[in-house]
A and B are shown apart, each in its own frame.
Chain A
Amino acid sequence: MQRARRIEPREGWSGEARTQVHVSAVRRRLRRVACRYFTREREQPVFTSRVSTGRLYCSSMARLEARRLRAELTQGRSVEASFALDAGRALQVAGPSGAGKTTLLRMLCRLEARDGGELLLDGEPAERIRPTRWRRRVVYLAQQPAMLEGTVLDNLAAGFLPAAGGGRFPNARRDEACRLLSALGLDPCGELLEQTAATLSGGEAARVALCRALLIEPAVLLCDEPTANLDAGAAAALVGLVHGWLQDGGALVLVAHDEEPWRDLERGRLELSP
């Protein structure tokens, strides 16, 4: 029951896809591999104005597309961007400070209103997808991620409260959380999980926030300076984890001033003019 509820049908699925939702873990993994195969097979450039007609049937994969997405900034400036991002791909948004990188990211997860243009997920316009559902698929990680009240475990489970339509935080998820935390160089076996989240350092909080986001299995991750508070080792661990996640079919939109940790990551580049 737990699993069936977690991978409930997404909006816009066709009827035949709907029948394929209740699959076992093995079949789900197989499907994920197949998805990866197909996204490679189509060989679409990272940026394209073409709209893909193929639909992805994996619950946590999607194609994010922005068409002339525009926001007015302060002092009469504005930011406009068009791109299409397939599952498994990464896109770096670059540009000088104040060019609207953060605003663009916030528009993509609909925390910021857009002043023009279209936003599509799997070819479906944003207007037809409820914001709550959209934000579970396109998750935004702020530069200084806020910790919610309670322990680190409470924070990791935050995406699974009934409030977010997720059900209980199951033990399997807890193990997954521990695995992610140790991949990021944090020690979950110690007292970390029971620690009050407000007492975490900036770097620890950034990594816990990444875990919190990955646990809800988003299709697209929007990271604003994820390595800004980390030392070289921790940054490399984070990039490694994100890399693995991309290979599993995730998609990444990245803002990073310091490109050194990301140098080995194959990624497209979107240059914002000042």
Chain B
Amino acid sequence: MKGPIPISDLHLALSTALVVLAGVVSALLRLGLLGSLLWGTVRTFVQLILLGYVLTHVFAIDHPALVLAIVSLMCLVAARAAVSRLKEAPEKPWGLAVLALGAGTFLVGSVVCGVIIGGERWYTARLVIPICGMILGNSLTGVSLALDRMYGEVRARAREVEVRLSLGYSAWEAIRPHVRTALRAGMTPIINALMVVGLVSLPGMMTGQILAGAEPMTAVRYQIVVMLMIAASVAIGALIVVGLSFRRCFTADQALRPELRGDR
């Protein structure tokens, strides 16, 4: 098995020429994205090179406590990202997002690392960190979509929720149809990905392994595990975050909170 083909500094610099192309389009059409594009390019360089150094050291130390600490930190950052773009929520439930993402990641991550991929040193940083990274990256989208959709639905259908409440439904029963819609919204991207994987998209992980010289069948097996673990963790994360935050739509008296009933 041969290793990946290395990219020299010169060739890395050449890749910025590609982003210039996008920049020209943006400037010509006055999309107002040029600044963001430049800043994004710089951030990509800095963040990934830093990550490279950090991972080199972490892999060298390879202590379980350090791995745990890094995964926890990743959870916190992912939770922040998940709630920061919520438009509809009256407040940012970031504690719940930490809980949901953490539970999903640790549950699915330990099954994947410990049982499915396994091996003698299943807790090694080289295995745990990329796996948890993939889980978190995907479930944060699911959690964020589900939360935003739930608050959006409740806002848009506040009158229906109140009709159910005034017929004596409990808070959970009154909001249940909207919780279901929210969970569907959170799960849709991963369901779509499961449908078209290999037909439309060649997933990054598999591509990486093939570029690194792995046999396609080995890469495919890994990819199947990755897809399924992502589906599971998205479902767990969305379920936990919606299940725990629906109460925040209501007052102690099981009435819809004033901020959420714009129309009436």
Residues of A within 8 A of B (CB): 109-113, 131-133, 135-136, 139-142, 144-146, 148-149, 158-159, 161, 163-166, 209, 212-213, 216
Contact = CB atoms under 8 A, between A and B. Distances in A.
12 contacts: A132-B168, A132-B170, A135-B168, A136-B168, A146-B157, A148-B163, A158-B163, A158-B164, A164-B168, A209-B163, A213-B166, A216-B168
Given A158-B163, A163-B164, 8 more contacts: A135-B166, A136-B167, A136-B168, A148-B163, A149-B177, A164-B164, A212-B167, A213-B167
Contact of B173 (A109, A149, A163, A209): A163
Interface stretch (B144-152, B214-222, B247-255): B247-255
Nearest to B257: A113
Contacts of B170: 132, 163
Q: Which of A131, A141, A148, A213: most chain B Cβ within 10 A?
A: A131
A113 B252 CA distance: 9
A131 B167 contact: no
A133 B169 CA distance: 9
A166 B258 CA distance: 28
A198 to B, nearest CB: 11
Q: Which of A135, A212, A216: most chain B Cβ within 10 A?
A: A135
Contacts of B251: 113
A131 B163 contact: no
Contacts of A141: 166
B159 interface: yes
B163 A111 contact: no
Contact of B255 (A112, A142, A166, A213): A112
Nearest to B261: A111
Contact of A111 (B157, B162, B176): B162
B204 to A, nearest CB: 40
Nearest to B255: A111
B173 A164 contact: yes
B255 A158 contact: no
Contacts of A165: 168
Given A110-B255, A142-B264, A149-B177, A132 B160 contact: no
B253 A113 contact: yes
Contacts of B256: 111
Q: Which of B167, B169, B256, B264: most chain A Cβ within 10 A?
A: B167
A132 B169 contact: yes
A159 B251 CA distance: 22
B205 to A, nearest CB: 41
Contacts of B160: 146, 148-149
Instruction: Please name the 3 residue pairs, one residue from A and one from B, whose CB atoms are nearest each other, closest first.
Output: A136-B168, A146-B159, A163-B173
A131 B173 contact: no
B255 A163 contact: no
B163 A145 contact: yes
A148 B164 contact: yes
Interface string B224-264: 00000000000000000000000000010111101000001
Contacts of A110: 253, 255
Contact of A164 (B159, B169, B253, B254): B169
B165 interface: yes
A139 B255 contact: no
